[in-house]
Amino acid sequence: MINALKEVERKRKAILEMGGHEKIEKLRRSGKLTARERIECLLDENSFVELLPFVESRNTDFGLKSLPADGVITGYGTIDGRPVCVYAQDFTVLGGSLGEMHGMKIARLFDFALEAGIPVIGLCDSGGARIHEGVDSLKSYGEIFRRNVEASGKIPQINVIMGPCAGGAVYSPALGDFVIMTKNKGCHMFITGPKVIEAVTGEKVSPAELGGWEVHAMKSGNCHLVADNDIKALELVKKLLSYLPLNSNECPPVVNTGDDPMRKTPEIYEIVPEDQKKPYDARELVKVIVDNREFLEIQPSFAPNATVGFARIDGKTVGIVANNPWFYAGCLDVDASDKIARFIRFCDCFNIPIITFVDVPGYLPGVEQEHRGVIRHGAKVLYAYSEASVPLITIIVRKAYGGAYIAMGSKHLGADIVYAFPTAEIAVMGPEGAAEIIFKKEIESSGNPEETRLEKIEEYRRKFANPVRAAARGYVDDVIDPQYTRMRIASALRVLERKQKRRKHGNIPL
């Protein structure tokens, strides 16, 4: 028994040495942690339990030798006492490439996580498919993708891109719920690399220009959060998880934030200008309402005309959706529609109430938007709100015009509570445009067309573009003093916490 145990420990020690001292030091010189250090930094101290450490590749072609842990470390542990599953690809072992058994370990981890009902966190740092193993490595990608879809909407999936992520490797993060990228040198995501692109199209581009964090955080929308380095990225994982339940059958944890839910919010008077043409930053409005001004914004640099993210009110996690007039007047466009729709669907999957702040003049006009499919993309927002069965509370701040008014969590799509500020204007279109259409003949025949136009604009605003008219029709539950916004939302959340849930769904990438 003793000799057998010693042999097992000898093999385990070799596995813990990963790719060897030289490769580990090279990794550290680049400012990165090793795969095992990343796990230690992420999880509670001494909580990690490794699974399948002795798995080896079955392929010996092209001189392939035994690889420690087959290039990926898998297991479970706790974060702030809550259980999670985690896998970390080891770049020191054949570049973290994914082969048959490497993929099998990740797929098995997903099976385990689904049975246990706990999140999966992937720490991605891989050169892609292990070409030594041919179609076996491709098969393993498929096995992982199927698990991603099976787990979608059931357990949270968070992926951290901490190095290269190319080819088939990009699709597992894309099928998950959140992607965090680091600013590490060599950290990028793309399907086809610069050399292939140059060979096929003649375009010359660097890896960073093709798929670095700036590209995905600002242009493609594939990245949800960005961190300066490994440690900061792992801190973001912890913060994000603190807002989420372990699975779709649970509610998010309730935290004693020490912030009185009945606190007044008179700061709103200063934040939101009465002049409808003056912009303001919706994030400042959100922060004065939520607990301790803590707001974890998701995709802050992508489609900034829409603001989404997590916060707490009365200690309860809420999903925030807001038009942001600071950018493009808060209009909805193709990217903002996708951003909002997918966030709503995630919240609905995991029992997170949605608070919507509306200030939208409509959909962004233009040939480009129409040709990019704004009709199709805008419909995703309508679908997401209509399908959602979590508590829906909507605050109409200022403009709520046309189809965009309907789309942004209106009573007509199933909102439980709709409040409006006295500054709200709810109509088919803005008073200026509406008056020029309705009173066109009167304005043109007037002795002073400009004066008449202004009079008619005010007439339309008084009759149709004020919240009292919508409230009279039952489309708005009440017109409230902005300083009572927080307490109204907190009260509604308490009443709606027993709201019956309808059928559930996955979180398809939109």
Residue 334, in any domain of the structure? yes
Alpha carbon distances (Å) from 55 to 71, 125, 299: 10, 19, 37
| pLDDT beyond 90 at 443 | no
Which active-site residues does the annotation give?
167-168, 403-404
Mean local confidence (pLDDT), 221-237 = 97
Residue 506, in any domain of the structure? no
- 62 and 201 both lie in a single domain: yes
CB-based burial label for 498 (10 Å; 0-12, 13-18, 19+): exposed
Residue 169, in any domain of the structure? yes
- 236 and 339 both lie in a single domain: no
- Is the entire prediction scored with pTM above 0.85? yes
Quote the pLDDT of residue 503: 64
* Whole-number Å distance between alpha carbons of 320 and 340: 10
| Tens-digit pLDDT profile for residues 102-146 | 989 999 999 999 999 999 999 999 877 777 767 877 888 899 999
Q: Determine the structural domain holding residue 460 and report its residue range.
A: 431-464
Q: Are 381 and 374 in contact (CB under 8 A)?
A: no
- 405 and 452 both lie in a single domain: no
- 319 and 227 both lie in a single domain: no
| pLDDT beyond 90 at 169 | no
CATH number (domain holding residue 362): 3.90.226.10
- 35 and 98 both lie in a single domain: yes
Residue 411, in any domain of the structure? yes
As for how many domains the chain has, the answer is 3
- 288 and 182 both lie in a single domain: no
183: phi then psi, degrees, rounded to nearest 5: -90, 20
Residue 194, in any domain of the structure? yes
- 282 and 346 both lie in a single domain: yes
* Whole-number Å distance between alpha carbons of 253 and 243: 7
181: phi then psi, degrees, rounded to nearest 5: -115, 145
The pair of three-digit structure tokens given for residue 260, joined into one six-digit string: 């009185």
Residue 510, in any domain of the structure? no
| Tens-digit pLDDT profile for residues 279-333 | 999 999 999 999 999 999 999 999 999 999 999 999 999 999 999 999 999 999 9
Q: What is the mean pLDDT of the chain?
A: 91
